Amino acid sequence: MRRLCVAAAASAIVLAAAGVADAYPYSIGPTVPASGPSPFAGCTVGAFFPTSVNYPNTEVEPFVAVNPTNPDNIIGVFQQDRWNDGGAHGLVASRSTNGGTSWTENFAAFSACAGGTGQNAYERPSDPWVTFDPNGDAYQISLSVSDQLETSAILVSKSTDDGATWGPPTTLIRDTSGVNFNDKESITAGPDPAPSMRSGTAAPSPAISEASPRSSTPSPTAGNRSSRVPPTAVRTGRRRSR
């Protein structure tokens, strides 16, 4: 079984790319596992083609964020049980509340294997990303797909308890034609709770909006696809790749 590992010491984790100007005292320590056996081992959803092969207990494409209000709170997200032709059974979130000394896992309902129902019972999620807002709330994002990649959607789930639980996913955009395949999204919380655009008018509270492939800020023209969650910039692409 492949396991994700991080280097950690008491109340410290090596996260060079995530370091902030406040100079929290990161230091190098022994590696510790941040993942364990797949929570989706019994799931059989997601075989798009006769040549599709799933690899249980594989973890790929990790991304890590540190809580700006509590640097001991760290969340890493990754694809769990990768398919040979794109996507996974689910996206797992691994959280630490002691600076990376120990980790526990959970997941948002971004796919059928992860508990998604109805429209959210997607066959495969991919492209994990996680961010914290200035208040310490966390957001993770997913590219979720079905129907042999004809249906694609960008979903966001929020946690208000340091990543211990995740709320129902919010759909930012959903297309049912492979011509408009959504891909390569990212999410980053902004520093200020400034209002953004929703349906062409200024919203009284912050919102997430779909952004253009070359933009790093929400697009007012996509306001009718926005979801009322705190200030963030979302990037999406339109490339037929996985």
pTM for this model (two decimals): 0.76
CA distance 72 to 55: 32
User: CB 166: neighbour CB atoms within 10 A?
Assistant: 21
Res 7: pLDDT:
46
Question: Are 105 and 94 contacting, i.e. CB atoms less than 8 angstroms apart?
Answer: yes
The DSSP annotation for 92-115 comes to EEEEESSTTSS-EEEE-S-STTTT
Q: What backbone phi and psi angles, to 5 degrees, belong to 143?
A: -95, 110
User: Locate tokens 């929570």: which residue?
Assistant: 39
Res 24: pLDDT:
64
Q: What angle do CA 164, 168, 170 make, to 5 degrees?
A: 125
Question: Are 234 and 185 contacting, i.e. CB atoms less than 8 angstroms apart?
Answer: yes
Res 25: pLDDT:
72
Res 193: pLDDT:
54
CA 51 to chain centre: 27
CA distance 99 to 101: 6
CA distance 195 to 173: 20
Distant-in-sequence, close-in-space partners of 12: CB < 8 Å, separation ≥ 6: 25, 26, 27, 29, 99, 100
Domains of the chain, by residue range, sit at 5-237
Res 230: pLDDT:
44
Per-residue pLDDT of the chain (242 residues; tens, 9 = 90+): 455 555 443 333 333 333 444 556 777 888 999 999 999 999 999 999 999 999 999 999 999 999 999 999 999 999 999 999 999 999 999 999 999 999 999 999 999 999 999 999 999 999 999 999 999 999 999 999 999 999 999 999 999 999 999 999 999 999 999 999 999 999 999 876 544 423 222 333 333 333 333 333 333 223 233 333 444 556 555 544 44
CA distance 21 to 39: 36
Please list the residues that pair with 78 across neighbouring strands: 92
Q: What backbone phi and psi angles, to 5 degrees, belong to 102?
A: -145, 160
Q: Mean pLDDT of all residues in the chain?
A: 79
Closest residue by Cα to residue 114 from 70, 80, 158, 66:
80
Res 17: pLDDT:
35
Res 235: pLDDT:
58
